[in-house]
């Protein structure tokens, strides 16, 4: 599918204006905003338009996993950045560790644009600390020109008899261990020691056959280079890769998959909180939310944006999962103190 482009007619612009309240003006000393975000996760044009609108600068630093982001913030980065984009399961731990600042909702008039199902999430009741940014799935992407009749199963990674060529795993603990859990019929949030031992055994047997562990957009790039025939990836990365090579396909395995919600939040040490609120409110404008989804190929939690997104993208199940597919997907949750069990297993897998 060719990547759709937004086509702004008079009706679309009118709808966008009705659904976009003016962002609060930042204070005069808030001239630079520091954003810490996943790689390839925001359109430069969106950032540039914000800079022009408010006469400010945005400095962006990148990470490839929640674990990398958390390590950086805990190592002093919490005072270096104003905004960060953590996944759902990471937020409770960040709140507990006092890494996030409470939001001032009166500075976010476009909060009203959110789809009600993303308001008051279990990982952040009342959206006190975070606002949903994008959401989507993790599954498998593959090179159709390099494999034959690939089973729609996680077994193409975990069962050596189903392997077809080199594959890469996601270098993110929760995603890779969670996918193994799904293959074994377990919850992606399991803390059962016996189940975690099963996951460890499976992945320790799998990693010697894997080409590599790669984070962020690495799986997409390995497929494009022809280094891997199959990769554990996020849906948007797979669809971006398919735009460059039509032989790249994506699916959520029949056993099920992970559905995630990424969120934007203000760090506890942010020095430009007014500007950070203005940026969040700007992202919540209907037209900006639509542009964000069309750039990322991920679903928008912004209900006001949906009519402005190209119908071809809205109807793509890889981007907006159908109700039938949603039944097979699992949300990741904070596992609290049991995270140390996961950390131990992950260390054993990687060493």
Question: Same fold for the domain at 10-135+261-320 and the one at 136-259+326-350?
Answer: yes
Q: What is the Cα–Cα distance from 307 to 200, expressed in whole angstroms? A: 44
5 pLDDT exceeds 70?
A: no
The answer for residues whose C-beta is within 8 angstroms of residue 46's C-beta and 6 or more apart is 283, 288, 291, 292, 295
| Residue 89 assigned as binding residue | yes
46 pLDDT exceeds 70?
A: yes
Q: What is the Cα–Cα distance from 58 to 349, expressed in whole angstroms? A: 38
At residue 345, φ and ψ (nearest 5 deg) are -60, -45
Domain ranges of the chain: 10-135+261-320, 136-259+326-350
Write the pLDDT tens digit of every residue in 144-184. 999 999 999 999 999 999 999 999 999 999 999 999 999 99
| Residue 40 assigned as binding residue | yes
Question: What 3-state class would DSSP assign to 173?
Answer: helix
Assign 299 a pLDDT band (cuts: 50, 70, 90). very high
Q: What is the Cα–Cα distance from 245 to 228, expressed in whole angstroms? A: 14
The answer for residues whose C-beta is within 8 angstroms of residue 125's C-beta and 6 or more apart is none
> Is 63 in contact with 215 (CB distance < 8 Å)?
no
**CATH architecture assigned to 10-135+261-320:** 3-Layer(aba) Sandwich (3.40)
Write the pLDDT tens digit of every residue in 51-110. 999 999 999 999 999 999 999 999 999 999 999 999 999 999 999 999 999 999 999 999
CATH 1.10.10.1100 assigned to domain 136-259+326-350? The reply is no
Quick one: tokens of 162? 């189903």
Q: What is the Cα–Cα distance from 53 to 47, expressed in whole angstroms? A: 10
Q: What local confidence, expressed as pLDDT, does residue 30 receive?
A: 62
Distance of CA 92 to the CA centre of its chain: 16
Strand partners, 77: none
18 pLDDT exceeds 50?
A: no
Please classify residue 80 by burial: count the beta carbons closer than 10 Å to its beta carbon, then call 0-12 exposed, 13-18 middle and 19+ buried: middle
Question: Which stretches of the chain are DSSP H helices?
Answer: 10-18, 44-54, 66-74, 91-96, 155-158, 173-183, 193-206, 218-225, 235-244, 273-283, 286-296, 311-314, 323-326, 339-350
The single residue listed with the structure tokens 């099920």 is: 256
Average pLDDT of the chain is: 91
Q: What is the Cα–Cα distance from 263 to 250, expressed in whole angstroms? A: 24
Distance of CA 273 to the CA centre of its chain: 23
């Amino acid at each position: 599918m060719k990547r759709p482009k937004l086509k702004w007619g008079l009706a679309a612009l009118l709808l966008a204006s009705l659904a976009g309240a003016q962002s609060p003006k930042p204070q005069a000393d808030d001239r630079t905003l520091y954003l810490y975000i996943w790689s390839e996760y925001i359109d430069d044009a969106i950032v540039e338009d914000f800079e022009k609108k408010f006469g400010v600068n945005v400095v962006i630093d990148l990470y490839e996993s929640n674990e990398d982001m958390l390590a950086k913030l805990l190592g002093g980065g919490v005072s270096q950045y104003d905004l960060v984009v953590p996944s759902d399961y990471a937020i409770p731990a960040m709140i507990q560790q006092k890494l996030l600042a409470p939001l001032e909702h009166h500075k976010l008039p476009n909060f009203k644009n959110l789809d009600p199902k993303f308001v008051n999430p279990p990982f952040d009741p009342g959206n006190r600390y975070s606002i949903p940014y994008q959401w989507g799935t993790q599954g498998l992407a593959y090179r159709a020109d390099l494999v034959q009749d690939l089973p729609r199963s996680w077994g193409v990674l975990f069962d050596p008899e189903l392997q077809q060529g080199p594959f890469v795993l996601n270098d993110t603990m929760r995603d890779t261990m969670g996918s193994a859990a799904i293959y074994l019929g377990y919850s992606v949030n399991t803390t059962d020691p016996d189940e975690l031992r099963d996951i460890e055994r499976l992945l320790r047997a799998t990693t010697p056959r894997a080409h590599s562990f790669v984070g962020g957009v690495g799986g997409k790039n390995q497929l494009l280079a022809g280094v891997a025939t199959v990769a554990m990836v996020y849906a948007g990365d797979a669809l971006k890769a398919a735009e460059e090579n039509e032989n790249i396909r994506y699916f959520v395995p029949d056993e099920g998959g992970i559905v995630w919600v990424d969120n934007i939040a203000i760090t506890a040490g942010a020095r430009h909180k007014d500007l950070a609120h203005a940026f969040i409110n700007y992202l919540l404008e209907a037209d900006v939310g639509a542009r964000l989804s069309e750039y990322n190929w991920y679903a928008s939690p912004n209900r006001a944006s949906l009519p402005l997104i190209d119908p071809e993208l809205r109807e793509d199940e890889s981007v907006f999962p159908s109700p039938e597919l949603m039944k097979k997907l699992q949300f990741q949750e904070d596992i609290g103190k049991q995270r140390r069990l996961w950390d131990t297993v992950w260390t054993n897998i990687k060493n």
